[in-house]
Amino acid sequence: LMTLPPPTTRSRVVLCPMGEDLLGLSSAYDSRYPEDHAELERLVPKETFDEVMERISDDIIFNWPCLLCRGLYWLLCPFTLGLSLMVLRVTCLRDLVIAVEDNCALENRRLQREAGDEPVKVRWSFHHDMFKQVSWIQIDLLDVQTDHDDAGQA
């Protein structure tokens, strides 16, 4: 059973995985600016969106396990009863998750500095669930009133 990221709503933009999947992580996430999302256009300029997504994409490319590592882990999987995949998760993929989370945190700190004493209106985050085999990048638009479509969705 494949788990999907939550849908995009008025107060949440979800950037879905687009590339090769490895234990729920993706080699790329949708980096197209959602032109039809009026709330995002109001709060996040296209240039800022492109800069953040470029940094995230560069870090994913840099930290994505090489073909030899991926092949070796999968080849050893039957002999180690799956433990080789856990080694991949703890070694190579951990750096990838940290890099994406750090980029989201960097952008959130920049937004906080710009906001000063005002409340921050946008929050970037990376969501990954190894057990459900799913991940996505999320932009929460914090000053948008949540309507009934957003209720109960994380």
User: Residue 148 above 80 pLDDT?
Assistant: no
Section 76-83 average pLDDT: 86
pLDDT digits (tens, 9 = 90+) for 7-24: 999 999 999 999 898 888
Question: Would the pLDDT of 111 be above 80?
Answer: yes
122-129 and 25-26 strand pairing: unpaired
Would you state the structure tokens that stand for residue 107, as one six-digit string?
């952008």
Fill in the amino acid letter for 97.
V
**Percent of the chain whose predicted confidence (pLDDT) is above 90:** 57
Q: What is the mean pLDDT of the chain?
A: 88
45-61 pLDDT, tens digit each: 999 999 999 999 999 99
Confidence (pLDDT) at 147: 57
Radius of gyration of the chain measured on its C-alpha atoms: 17
Q: Is the dihedral of CA 59, 128, 85, 72 positive or negative?
A: negative
pLDDT at 154: 46
Higher pLDDT, residue 108 or 77: 108
Average pLDDT for 104-132:
93
CB 45 within 8 A of CB 111: no
